[in-house]
Every structure is written in structure tokens, then in C-alpha cells.
Chain A
Amino acid sequence: MANVLVVAESAEGKLRKTTHSAVTFARQAAQALGGAFSILVIGHNVAGAAEEARALGADKVLVADDASLKDYLAERYAPTVAEVGKGYAVVVGTASAYGKDLLARVAGRLGSGYAADISELLVEGGTLKYKRPMFAGNAFGIMSVSTPVQVVSVRQSAFAAAEPSGGSSDVAPVAVVAPGAAASRIEMVSFDQVKSERPELTEAKVVVAGGRALKERFNEILDPLADTLTAALGASRAACDAGYAPSDLQVGQTGKVVAPPLYFAIGISGAIQHLAGMKNSKVIVAVNKDGDAPIFQVADYGLVADLFQVVPELVKQLKAAKAG
């Protein structure tokens, strides 16, 4: 029986939305294979996350809940994920920081081929092929995995979040597998969280992203625009490197990949690495002083102007449009 296992991601006892993208993949893959899918919820005190997972239409929700899994460490998670995953044709998660860290290690443990950060599942005669962006999104590779268990991570922006199915899956506990020597040589010291009231960058309907041109006025200029549009803030690598924006906001080939309905690139020149993270957005607006900036090649609406004058004016007009 060819079944699919979703490795859920949770934080503070709640399911992270990344999980829902992996579930969308799992529904497609299970259907193609004529099997079913399960969801593995792993961590400590994850009963709440498991309860949420039950609504997603899985055949089973498996729960590995143990005090030794309190802090996420791949060294402690991978043995259990791999042990459970052995019984499945496909083990899938989302290519978030957690998924990228964990799934590749799981692939190492299983000796499984790994299809990383895929953007589409292609089914050919009952076999699975994966389409994945390479070369900063300038090419797609069509590939397949030849090992008995295939490990896959999906690009969150390419797989819509699964909606609840209406059913309620059965829950079964699974045993935690003792980790190897690696786990005795690593510990988590701290997690410095960046708290934000704004929507998650990878889930927002509107993203307002800024570049180095904003300098120390990054937040002063962009916050009002993001507030008006209920947008998430994003940034170019240059803005993050220079310390104008926290690195968590970086959009690009090696940062977050986003594809919102509306994306504002403010003072971003449009390096290849940045375009890789946002060019699938539905509508792209660019504001830049330099009319030859590469960002204008992907922008639907370009405005060649000084952002320090234009953005406050834009905020004013958007507010007026809303009120009107």
C-alpha cells in the first residue's frame, strides 16, 4: 500500500500553517498512488496541534509527544520521523526553516533520495515526478526519486493551504526512538523570537518589501504603508545585511519565497536572488529612482520616483480610497 506521511510543524502547541501546504501535496500524492495519508505531529505538549491536524482529512494522526522533544533539534526528531516514515512511500513536509533542516536529515537517515522545495507534483502513469525551481528560479528541473521511501519538501507559496475536510481523523500515539550520539553533543541555548503583529510573510495577501535605499528609515517609511494594507513586511538581502531590517524578513532565493496577490518592491533594485523569491506574486508594484533597475522588468506597475516622497503620498491616497 503506497501511503504518504506528512511531517507536521508546530509551535507552542499549535499547528503551523506550513503544515497545510504539505497536506495539499499529500492529498494529491495519495490520490495518485491510490493510497491514503497520515499526519505525524511531533514535539512536546502537542495535543492541541494534533487536534487541529485531525480536521485535515488524514487517514490517521500519529502523535509523538515526549519531554525529550521539547526543543526542536533535528538530532532528536529525525530518528522518530524516519522510523515512522519507513512504512510510507512518501514522507513530506514544507520547506520552511524547520522542514529544510529536518527533512534532509531524515533523508540521510533513511538513505532516501530527497526532492527539495518542489513547486509541483506531476503524475505520470501512477509514478510521481517533481518539478522544482533551480538556479534562483531561472530553470525548473523535472526529477524523480528512486528509493523505496521518497522524501519531499514543498514550497509553501506553490501549494495552497489545505482547508479542513469536515471529518475527524483517528489519533494514535507512536513511540519515540532514542537518538544517536549526535544528540548528546547538542543543546538549544535560546530562541530569540521576533514578535510581530503583522501577518506571516509567507501567508500575507499583501507584502510591502523594502531595499537598502530606505536606510535607517526602513520602518518609518514602510510601517504606515504596511499598516494601511494589512501587509507583511519584507526586505531585500541588502537591506537585511545592512541591518535596516531583521534577517527574518529577507525575501529571495535563500530567504523566504512569497507569492502574494500584491507585492510592493520599494527601493529594491531587483537582483536575481531577490526576484527568485517574489516573481510569482500576482501583481507587482515597484518604486525606484533608477528607471533602468531590473525590478521594472518584472513589475506590473512601475513608478520611477523618489520613494521618500512617493510612499507617504501613496499611504495618504490609499487611506482616502479606503475611506471613500
Chain B
Amino acid sequence: MKILVPLKRVADPDNANKVKIPASGATIETTGLEWKPNPFDEYALEAALRLTEDGKAPKVRAGEVVVVTFGPKETETTLRAALATGADRAIRVDAADDKLDGHLVARALKALVEREKPDLVLMGKQAVDGDSNQVGQILAEQLDYPMATFAATMKEEAGGLLVGREVDGGVITLRVKFPAVVTVDLRIVAPTSVYSMKTAPAFKYNDGVRFAALPAIMAAKKKPLAEVKLADLAADQGLRVTYHGFQAPPARKAGIKVKDVTDLVNRLKNEAKAL
């Protein structure tokens, strides 16, 4: 199975409350925040690795995992890290972060998919900076591919996947045939979420994503990393949406600590009038 995994770097999501908006409201400043891979994309990579191996022999790749990112030279750090955890090769689409929107990324990915012909495009359901949750769906439609968004489980079958999607009110199970697009949710990296046909049904993964050992980090420096110009993938580089400015959310005024349950019930009833 050949899988293409698009990765985006984002400002450290665990410190997202430290983003700053200048008085002009012109930008969001993430100065001082470390770049991290978008967590959902990291989960997609982990899921791609699980789909292309026997769980008990994770160093042998059955098929190919190709990672791609959009951005300046420095985003190659994100790609090298992905190569170290087991991806076979990487592509960087040279682009400026602020000259992209979801449609443009999807258009360029479409061209890349037509070149690379993966069986599966596997990506995060959303990037946790823009929080739009759109590229997978737009890409699938433009390719006329089936899609399964918010995947929590995946099981490889002949020529496709059985995918469990977390939706309002329960879990929908879909059968998709390749080529397809799948976007993943948080629980795709639980111990029993993803099974290739090689992995024994009783096998359990460690919870979460795998980490690269030092020799793998060294070896990753020699893995192929190609650079592609955005213009080679997308003739039309127009944007469909424009951001005019940014605002900080209103601060919540500090609350109080109550001394016990009686105090709490009393305040909820008489002060907040919430009961």
C-alpha cells in the first residue's frame, strides 16, 4: 500500500494561549512558541506506518509512506522527523505560509496525488492553528475520491479499508475502496485502532505515536527529500479567503474559590442564580 501523508507544522498547541495579537490586530504572533507537527497529522503518520507493517516487526515497511509539507526551507525539520519515525521519503512544496489557504493546498495536493498515485491520502482532520477542518474534504471532492473523515479506527481489507468514524451520536463504519482520502481523529492512535492485513488481530500497539531512536534519526538524514515548486503543482495560486485582522478573545473575569459544598450551592442559587 502506498500512502501519502500531508503534514503541517503549527505553533506549539499546548501553549496556544500564549499567542499574541498586537493592538493593530494585523497578525497573530507566535514568537517564542516552538514549531510542532500538527498533532492530527502526527497521528495520521502513525496510522500510515501501522497500515504498512506487521505490528510486531515495525522496522519492515510493506509498501511506501511518503510525507509532504508546504512551507519554507525550515519546514524540512518536520519532514526529517517524520522520516526518522519510519516514512520512506519526503516532499517539500516550497511556499510562504501566508500565501496559502485550504483550497490552494488542496489543489496542489491534487496535482501531487496525480503524480504519486498513492492508494491512500491519510491526514489529520484539522490543523490546530486554523481549526478549519477542510483540506481532506476539498481534496477528496476534487479528486472524485471517496473519503472517511474523523476516523477513529481503520482495518485494512483487500483493496480498501473498513473505517470507524466518530460522529454525533455514535460511530459510523464505512467501507472505502482505494484510492481514497481518510482524515483521522484523536483515537486513531489507541492500541487497537489500526490493523494492517499483516498485523495479528490480537496485537496491541503502544498508546500514541512512536518515537524515533537515535540511529533512525541519523539514518533519516540520508532518506530522499525532494523540493517541488508550488507553481509546478498549482498554476492558479489565487486565494479564496482573506483574513482582514485578528482579535483576542474577551478575558474571563477571575472567579472565586468557595469553601465547601454548602457555600457553593448557596452561591449558585443566590449569587449566580444558576439553579
A binds B: yes
Please list the residues of chain A having a beta carbon within 8 angstroms of any beta carbon in chain B.
11, 73-75, 78, 95-98, 100-101, 104-109, 111-117, 129, 131-147, 180-183, 185-194, 237, 240-241, 247-248, 253-254, 261-262, 271-273, 275, 279, 282-285, 291, 296-305, 310, 313-314, 317-318, 321
B28 touching A135 by the CB < 8 A rule? yes
Q: Check if A247 sits within 8 Å of B268, measured CB to CB.
A: no
- CB contacts (< 8 Å) of B136 on chain A: these are 104
Q: List 27 A-B contacts (CB under 8 A).
A: A97-B165, A107-B138, A113-B239, A132-B131, A135-B19, A136-B13, A136-B128, A139-B21, A139-B28, A139-B248, A142-B245, A143-B241, A144-B242, A145-B241, A147-B240, A180-B144, A191-B173, A192-B171, A240-B187, A241-B187, A253-B131, A254-B125, A262-B268, A272-B14, A291-B257, A302-B256, A303-B257
Determine if A75 and B146 form an interchain contact, defined as CB atoms under 8 angstroms apart. yes
Q: Is the CB of B264 within 8 A of A303?
A: yes
Q: Return chain B residues, CB-CB under 8 Å to A275.
A: 17
Q: Contacts A117-B132, A185-B160, A314-B265 given; 6 further ones with Cβ under 8 A?
A: A101-B149, A105-B138, A105-B140, A113-B103, A134-B129, A186-B174
B170 adjacent to A146 (CB under 8 Å): no
Asked whether B195 is an interface residue with its Cβ less than 8 Å from the other chain, the reply is no
Residues in B neighbouring A100, C-beta threshold 8 A: 133, 149-150
Cβ 8 A contact of B17, one of A116, A138, A305: A138
CA distance A310 to B262 in the complex (A): 10
B147 touching A135, Cβ below 8 Å: no
CB pair B167–A313 under 8 Å, yes or no, is no
Q: How far is the CA of A273 from the CA of B171 in the complex (A)?
A: 22
Q: Which of A73, A136, A181 has the most CB atoms of chain B within a 10 A radius of its CB?
A: A136
Q: Is B77 at the interface (CB under 8 A from chain A)? A: no
Name the A residues within 8 Å of B176 (CB-CB).
185-186
B96 CB–A CB distance under 8 Å:
no
Could you say which of A108, A190, A272, A318 contacts B139, with CB atoms under 8 Å apart? Answer: A108
The 9 closest A-B pairs by CB, nearest first: A113-B240, A108-B141, A104-B137, A108-B138, A186-B146, A185-B177, A97-B167, A300-B255, A193-B170
Say yes or no: A104 contacts B133, CB within 8 Å: yes
Cβ 8 A contact of B140, one of A108, A145, A310: A108
Task: List chain B positions with a Cβ less than 8 A from chain A.
Answer: 11, 13-17, 19, 21, 25, 28, 40, 101-103, 106, 125-126, 128-134, 136-150, 152, 160, 162, 165-178, 180, 185-187, 190, 207, 239-249, 252, 254-258, 260-262, 264-265, 267-269, 272, 274-275
Return B275 CB to nearest CB of chain A, in Å. Answer: 7
A182 to B179, CA, bound (A): 9
Closest residue on chain B to residue A201 by CB atoms: B168
CA distance A298 to B251 in the complex (A): 9
Q: Which residue of A74, A194, A262, A313 is within 8 Å of B274 (Cβ)? A: A262
Residue of A nearest to B133 (CB): A100
Residues from chain A with Cβ under 8 Å of B246 in the complex = 134, 139-142
Measured between alpha carbons, how far is A188 from B170 in the docked complex, in Å? Answer: 14
Residues of A within 8 A of B248 (CB): 138-140
Partner of B255, one of A113, A147, A299: A299
How far, in whole Å, are A145 and B238 apart by their CA atoms in the complex?
Answer: 12
The answer for the CA separation of A275 and B125 in the assembled complex, in Å, is: 20
Set of chain A residues within 8 Å of B249, measured between Cβ atoms: 133, 137-140
A263 to chain B, nearest CB (A): 10
Contacts of A74 in B (CB 8 A): 137, 147, 149
Q: A247-B152, A273-B13, A283-B272 are in contact. Are A116 and B133 (CB under 8 A)?
A: yes
Whether A145 contacts B240 by the Cβ 8 Å rule is: yes
B contact residues around A133 at 8 Å (CB): 131, 249
Residues in A with CB closer than 8 Å to B166 are 97, 247-248
Known contacts A139-B19, A301-B258; is A254 also within 8 Å of B272 by CB?
no
In the assembled complex, the Cα of A136 lies from the Cα of B131 at a distance in Å of: 7
Distance in angstroms from B33 CB to nearest chain A CB is 10
CA A234 to CA B185, docked complex, whole Å = 18
Q: Of B129, B139, B162, which one neighbours A189 at CB under 8 angstroms?
A: B162
Residues from chain B with a CB closer than 8 A to the CB of A135 are: 11, 16, 19, 28, 128-129, 131
Evaluate contact between B170 and A183: CB separation under 8 angstroms. no
Contact A144 B244 (CB under 8 A): yes
Contacts A140-B246, A241-B186 hold; do A114 and B131 have CB atoms under 8 A apart? no
Task: Please give, as numbers and ranges, the residues of chain B lying within 8 Å of A116 by CB-CB distance.
Answer: 131-134
Give B177's nearest chain A residue, CB to CB.
A185
CB distance from A77 to the nearest CB of B (A): 11
Give the residue of B145, B169, B245 whose beta carbon is less than 8 angstroms from that of A248: B169
On chain A, the residues within 8 Å of B141 by CB distance are: 78, 105-106, 108-109, 182
Can you name the residue of chain B whose Cβ is closest to the Cβ of A196?
Answer: B169
Bound-complex Cα distance A276 to B166 (A): 19
The answer, among B101, B129, B172, for a CB contact under 8 Å with A190, is B172
In whole angstroms, what is the CA distance A189 to B200 when docked? Answer: 23
Q: Are B173 and A188 within 8 A (Cβ)? A: yes
- Closest Cβ of chain A to B120, distance in Å, is 12
Inter-chain contact A248/B269, CB cutoff 8 Å: no
CB pair B257–A138 under 8 Å, yes or no, is no
A300 to B248, CA, bound (A): 20
